[in-house]
């Protein structure tokens, strides 16, 4: 670690107050090619740093106010030693920029975001790109877009992350915003956990864009955002699923065209988009499976039970292999978000609250598999998870366990479970 440079004229506020007021800063050399400067103002001064690039050319940057009148906090106000450390960190970045040949000029977070989106558009699905664009436009660019990446600090990013964790859920329409304004924002532990989990996901998108800039040699160091850590213990899965009785009630409450989709989701665990584009030729009667066509020619084979196989045989009988399995009443295919309204209406009709989302139908399939002892690896294959980590996160707690089975088999019946056998004690009157 380099030794701090001493300077009796700048080390203390008393010494600095004896310096004459002038527009040109007082400089002290703190490393090769790097100097710390002090501007002496009429009331208080400020710190600056200067880096020599060669050929009588310099780069300079403002560090912050000096602790001439108020105590240093290491964020906005710096003493001599803190300012020197800030100057050394900035000087190291300038040295790396010169050594790596990184382009000169302003490169902001907005520039990094634009380059990141251009890259992922060639690699990821349109839905993934759209999701990233929404997060970037809503949460990242308004606060950080205009900041040069070289000027990002860990403290600034931590403050931005913490602010995200305290903001309420966004609403997209004016009518929804008006309604939301009349409702009190939940502030219980679950609500705080959910907001922190959202902040973690947004932070992940930001880091992806900044890391892309770093690996493309647009910036010299990734230290500022690498030190920003996500909130801990906020992603514990809270899986909601339907009982068999609830599933039957929900299916019966759906219109005939939409009912088939709900049945298929419960019997296969497939996503809405996967079922909406399913064709009759994807159902294999011999193997009792449904082929889910994925990107880049990949296929996932979903295994059907006898009930599921019988349902698909009825839905695909006497139909061409290229026909969509599920169509709306008007003969058109199911499109994006077409499932929300009929599912909301069916939930209200049968009194299921909160309303069921289509993803809960998928969770219902996975949850019942787990509760009946199906191994996590098998569930992962059925649902299309890349590995068992996501499966275990959502369903491991539902699986029969040795601990639970042992306790239930060996703990004695205390005979205290029914309140009807409990006789209340009467107060005894004292003489």
Assign residue 23 the CATH number of its domain. Answer: 3.30.160
Say whether both 290 and 377 belong to one domain.
yes
Distance CA 210, CA 212 (A): 5
pLDDT in tens, the chain (431 residues): 467 788 888 999 899 989 998 888 999 999 888 999 999 988 889 999 998 877 777 888 889 999 998 999 888 899 999 999 999 988 887 777 666 655 555 789 999 999 899 888 877 667 778 888 989 999 999 999 999 898 899 999 999 999 999 887 666 554 444 444 444 455 667 788 888 989 999 999 999 999 998 888 788 788 899 999 999 877 665 678 999 999 999 999 999 999 999 999 999 999 999 999 999 999 999 999 999 987 556 889 999 999 999 999 999 999 999 999 999 999 999 998 899 999 999 999 999 988 999 999 999 999 999 999 899 999 999 999 888 888 888 888 788 776 677 777 888 877 776 555 555 556 555 55
Q: Which residues contact 328 (CB under 8 A, 6 or more apart)?
A: 257, 334, 338
Give the angle subtended at the CA of 385 by the CAs of 265 and 242, to the nearest 5°. 35
Q: What is the pLDDT of residue 295?
A: 57
* 198 within some domain: yes
Q: What is the pLDDT of residue 181?
A: 44
Say whether both 277 and 387 belong to one domain.
yes
Burial class (CB in 10 A: 0-12, 13-18, 19+), 201: middle
165: its two tokens: 């964790």
Say whether both 43 and 171 belong to one domain.
no
Assign residue 368 the CATH number of its domain. Answer: 1.10.443.10
Q: What is the pLDDT of residue 207?
A: 95
Q: Which of 53, 68, 100 is the last residue of a domain?
A: 100
Distance CA 284, CA 288 (A): 6
Say whether both 75 and 120 belong to one domain.
no
Q: What is the pLDDT of residue 319?
A: 94
CB 68 within 8 Å of CB 13: yes
Distance CA 202, CA 160 (A): 11
Say whether both 84 and 126 belong to one domain.
no
Q: Nearest 10 degrees: CA dihedral of 239, 244, 246, 251?
A: 110
Structural domain harbouring 53:
13-100
Q: Which residues contact 226 (CB under 8 A, 6 or more apart)?
A: none
Strand partners, 35: 29, 50
Q: What is the pLDDT of residue 176?
A: 46
Say whether both 285 and 393 belong to one domain.
yes
Q: What is the pLDDT of residue 205?
A: 94
Say whether both 59 and 121 belong to one domain.
no
Number of C-beta neighbours around residue 246 at 10 A: 16
Say whether both 130 and 278 belong to one domain.
no
């Amino acid at each position: 670690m380099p030794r701090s440079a001493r300077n009796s004229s700048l080390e203390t506020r008393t010494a600095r107050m004896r310096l004459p007021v002038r527009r040109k800063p007082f400089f002290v050399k703190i490393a090769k090619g790097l100097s710390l400067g002090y501007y002496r103002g009429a009331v208080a001064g400020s710190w600056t740093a200067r880096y020599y690039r060669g050929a009588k050319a310099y780069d300079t940057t403002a560090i912050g106010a000096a602790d001439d009148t108020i105590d240093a906090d290491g964020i906005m106000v710096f003493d001599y030693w803190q300012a020197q450390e800030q100057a050394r960190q900035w000087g190291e970045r300038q040295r790396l920029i010169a050594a790596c040949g990184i382009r000169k000029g302003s490169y902001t977070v907005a520039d990094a975001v634009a380059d990141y989106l251009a890259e992922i558009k060639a690699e990821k699905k349109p839905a993934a790109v759209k999701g990233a664009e929404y997060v970037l436009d809503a949460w990242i660019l308004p606060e950080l877009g205009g900041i040069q990446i070289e000027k990002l600090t860990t403290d600034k990013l931590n403050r931005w992350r913490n602010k995200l964790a305290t903001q309420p859920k966004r609403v997209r329409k004016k009518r929804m915003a008006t309604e939301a304004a009349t409702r009190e924002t939940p502030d219980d532990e679950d609500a705080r956990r959910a907001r922190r989990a959202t902040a973690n996901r947004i932070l992940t998108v930001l880091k992806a864009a900044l890391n892309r800039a770093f690996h493309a040699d647009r910036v010299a160091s990734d230290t500022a955002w690498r030190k920003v850590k996500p909130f801990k213990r906020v992603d514990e899965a809270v899986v909601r699923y339907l009982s068999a009785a609830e599933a039957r009630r929900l299916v019966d409450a759906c219109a005939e065209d939409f009912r088939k989709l709900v049945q298929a989701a419960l019997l296969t665990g497939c996503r809405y988009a996967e079922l909406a584009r399913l064709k009759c030729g994807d159902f294999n009667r011999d193997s009792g499976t449904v082929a889910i066509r994925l990107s880049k020619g990949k296929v996932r084979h979903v295994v059907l039970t006898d009930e599921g196989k019988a349902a698909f045989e009825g839905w695909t009988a006497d139909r061409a292999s290229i026909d969509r399995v599920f169509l709306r009443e008007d003969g058109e295919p199911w499109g994006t978000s077409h499932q929300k309204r009929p599912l909301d209406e069916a939930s209200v009709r049968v009194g299921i609250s909160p309303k069921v989302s289509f993803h809960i139908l998928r969770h219902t399939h996975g949850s019942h598999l787990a509760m009946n002892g199906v191994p996590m690896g098998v569930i992962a294959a059925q649902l299309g998870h890349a590995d068992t980590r996501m499966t275990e996160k959502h369903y491991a707690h539902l699986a029969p366990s040795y601990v639970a089975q042992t306790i239930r088999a060996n703990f004695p019946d205390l005979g205290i479970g029914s309140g009807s056998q409990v006789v209340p004690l009467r107060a005894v009157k004292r003489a």
